[in-house]
Amino acid sequence: MKEAVATSAAPAAIGPYSQAVRLGEWLYCSGQIPLTPDGNGPVAGIEAQTNQVLDNLTAVLEGGGASLSNVVKTTIFLTDLADFQTVNRLYAERFAEPYPARSTIQVAALPKGAAVEIEAIARISS
C-alpha cells in the first residue's frame, strides 16, 4: 500500500502531488526545487540553489525513513547545462560512493524560476 510522506523540514508541495511516496521498502521523492522550507525562494545563484535543493531532498528522505546513502537513482534537471560542473561538485560533496545512478537533463524552464531540480528514488533501511 502506498503512503504519502510529508515533512515541514522541506517546502510543501506546490501542486497536487506528495513530497514523496513510500511503497513497501521504496521511497519515490518528487523533484525538489530551491525553495526554503517556509516556501520562499528560489534562493539566488546556482550554488545556493543546489545546496537548498539538496537540503530539501535530504529532509524529504529523512521524513520517509531514508537518507542520501539510501538513494539508488536521481534525476537532475537544469535550465542551463553550463551549471553542470558546479552542481556536480556540490552533489559529490553530499553523496558517497557507490554513487546513485543518475541522469542530468537540460530543460527550458522549472517551476518558480528555479535553475535546478533534483528527484530521487531510495530504498528505505530496514
pLDDT in tens, 80-122: 999 999 999 999 999 999 999 999 999 999 999 999 999 999 9
Name residue 71's beta-bridge partners: 122
Residue 126 in this model has a pLDDT that exceeds 80:
no
CB 79 within 8 A of CB 107: yes
The predicted structure's pLDDT at residue 125: 72
The pTM (predicted TM-score) of the whole model is: 0.96
The predicted structure's pLDDT at residue 11: 97
- Rounded to whole angstroms, the Cα distance separating 80 from 19 reads 25
Domains in the chain, number: 1
Mean pLDDT of 29-49: 95
- Rounded to whole angstroms, the Cα distance separating 32 from 58 reads 10
Domain with 34 in it: what CATH number? 3.30.1330.40
Q: CB count, 10 Å around CB of 18?
A: 17
Domain of residue 10 covers: 2-123
Average pLDDT, the chain: 96
pLDDT in tens, 14-31: 999 999 999 999 999 999
pLDDT band at 7 (very low <50, low <70, confident <90, very high): very high
